[in-house]
Amino acid sequence: MTRKTRIRAAVVTALVTAATVSAGVSRAGGSEPRHEPSKKQIAALFDRWNAALRTGDPEKVAGLYAKDAVLLPTVSNRIRTDHPARLVAARADRSRTA
């Protein structure tokens, strides 16, 4: 893996982790006061996302996103706003890292 690929993977991982944590926190909202996620919760979400990536199954990766999640582009210029589009992005990421 080249240095550029490792950096790109780190950026994608950070963005997806932040989006996943944000989605989880906002989904848990409701009328109760919002609480910041703990470091342990963030680490668990990160581990879950990495485990999904290791399976090589784009459906598992795309399935981790909330229904209203927005996947911001890191390699392409296209913003992904629904499950089918995120699935396409996950497949593309898989083919780039294979």
pLDDT digits (tens, 9 = 90+) for 33-62: 678 889 999 999 999 989 988 988 888 888
pLDDT 10s digits, 56-92: 888 888 888 888 888 777 777 777 787 777 777 767 6
pTM above 0.85, yes or no: no
**CA distance to 32, 46, 60, 70, per residue, from 51 (Å):** 31, 9, 9, 21
Nearest alpha carbon to residue 55 among 1, 98, 11, 4: 98
Separation between Cα atoms, residue 17 and residue 95, nearest integer Å: 20
Q: Phi first, then psi: what are they for 62, rounded to 5°?
A: -65, -30
Q: What is the pLDDT of residue 53?
A: 85
